[in-house]
Amino acid sequence: MANQNETITLIGAGLVGSLLAVMLAKRGFKVEVYERRPDMRATDISAGRSINLALANRGIYPLQQAGLMEQVKPILTAMKGRMVHDMQGNQNFQSYGQRPEEVIYSVSRGDLNIICLNAAEATGRVNIYFNQNCQKVDLDNNQLTIKDELSSEFKTIAFNRVIGTDGSNSAVREAIHAIESSQHDIISLGHSYKELRIPPGPNGEFLIDKHSLHIWPKGGYMIIALPNEDGSFTVTLFMANEGEISFESVKTPEQVEQFFNQHFPSIVPLLPDLQKDFFENPTGKLATVKCSPWHFKDKALLLGDAAHAVVPFHGQGMNCGFEDALDLIETIDEYGDDWAEIFTRVDEHRKINGDAIADMAIENYITMRDSVTDEKFLLRNALAFE
Ligand code: FAD
């Protein structure tokens, strides 16, 4: 058994960090978590990106193992397939599978994160420190440099073992890769995204099918929409950064109006706040992170987007990060307190999966924006479910 008096330090209380904190605490560890942003339960901070996400079986199993699914179930909306919208407003439903369990679920990023934060604190073994920005990880001397975002003061914190769940610009990753002879690629997709919103109807009803992931495919670019519990949909436009049809070419209110009327006429009546949303919401850049190693000796490990940020077209970034967290726990169960072995094994198990999902996510961008309207693809899909 691992030494459960040991304290494990996490950087980042996002989706993966907060779930991992629950799992480690339930194994008896003390957990100290440093999070750069304010506490989302007390402050109205925007999720920053993807207000809702697709949760799949890969992510559900770790949530079950952490004992959280009973709390998570009520905030899930099942999506049974893709609803493909054409220029004329026709809709074509493509089922994800024949069996009732072959569905994915739309879930609010904020609500899911809050369930995990609350569950972590409820164990009585987790301290989460907000507004604490980890600026430097000194792996030689086991010390973190943390900046308090409110007072701007710096402090030094000692750690035994640090796990970087600090997302795609990870400070822990930077430290590991400064020491080891490492490979560290951040590959830009050259495409970005913008979130918009379809509000509920006058009686709170869903204006398009509640149980579908909606797609308006256009070849080189596309829109998707996922349902929210309140009857609204979070809509995401994915498009190139530069070129003839790109974020660069849609900059003024007139260009926005013309672009949507020309390329997405069937969604325009559903977007009453299009202009406001387009100009107020940030444009998020998309990139893949591939790096190696994911660990340093028995001191540091990367999990979630810190190790493998992927583009969102398979809806698997969070799901894969949750699997990472469970893999760490299962490996601790197997190797006790041999942390060098534990971190090496997790790196071996998960890196191969992280790379695979990164490549599949890029392939699925092509499928979603393009092939879902291809006749052969539609025929194959129809035959598969006959
Ligand atoms: P993050 O969610 O990035 O959390 C990292 C946390 O660390 C943050 O709270 C951050 O504030 C904190 N932090 C960062 N740096 C520091 C620091 N130096 N010091 C202290 N704290 C720090 N995945 C899915 O599975 N399904 C989907 O449908 C899906 N859709 C997506 C749609 C979009 C548009 C995008 C961009 C992503 C999507 N993803 C999806 C991917 C998913 O968002 C990520 O994989 C997931 O958020 C990773 O969780 P994480 O905890 O590893 O990282």
The ipTM value here is 0.99
Q: Which atom number of ligand 1 is nearest to the Cα of residue 168?
A: 3
- pLDDT, tens digit, 9 for 90 and up, residues 93-108: 999 998 888 999 999 9
Residue 19 has pLDDT above 50, yes or no: yes
Domain limits of the chain?
7-58+108-186+287-366
Distance 209 CA to ligand 1 centre (A): 28
Q: Which atom number of ligand 1 is nearest to the Cα of residue 303?
A: 52
Q: What is the pTM of this model?
A: 0.94
Region of poorest pLDDT, from 15-29, 46-60, 127-141, 185-199: 46-60
Distance 167 CA to ligand 1 centre (A): 5
Please state, in angstroms and as integers, the Cα–Cα distance from residue 251 to each residue in 219, 244, 258, following that order.
21, 13, 11
Binned at pLDDT 50, 70 and 90, residue 29 comes out as: very high
Residue 349 has pLDDT above 80, yes or no: yes
Binned at pLDDT 50, 70 and 90, residue 59 comes out as: very high
Distance 296 CA to ligand 1 centre (A): 22
Mean pLDDT of 203-218: 96
**Predicted local distance difference test score (pLDDT) of residue 185:** 86
Q: Which atom number of ligand 1 is nearest to the Cα of residue 37?
A: 11
Mean pLDDT of 46-53: 70
Give 362 or 61, the one with higher predicted confidence: 61
**Predicted local distance difference test score (pLDDT) of residue 117:** 98
Q: Which residues line ligand 1 (CB under 6 A)?
A: 11-17, 34-37, 49-50, 53-54, 133-134, 165-167, 171, 193, 236, 284, 304-306, 312, 315-319, 321
Hey, which of 305, 320, 323 would you mutate to test ligand 1's pocket, going by the most ligand atoms within 8 Å of its Cβ?
305
Binned at pLDDT 50, 70 and 90, residue 371 comes out as: low
- To the nearest 5 percent, what fractions of the chain are helix, strand and coil? 40, 30, 35
CATH topology for the 7-58+108-186+287-366 domain? FAD/NAD(P)-binding domain (3.50.50)
- pLDDT, tens digit, 9 for 90 and up, residues 248-271: 999 999 999 999 999 999 999 999
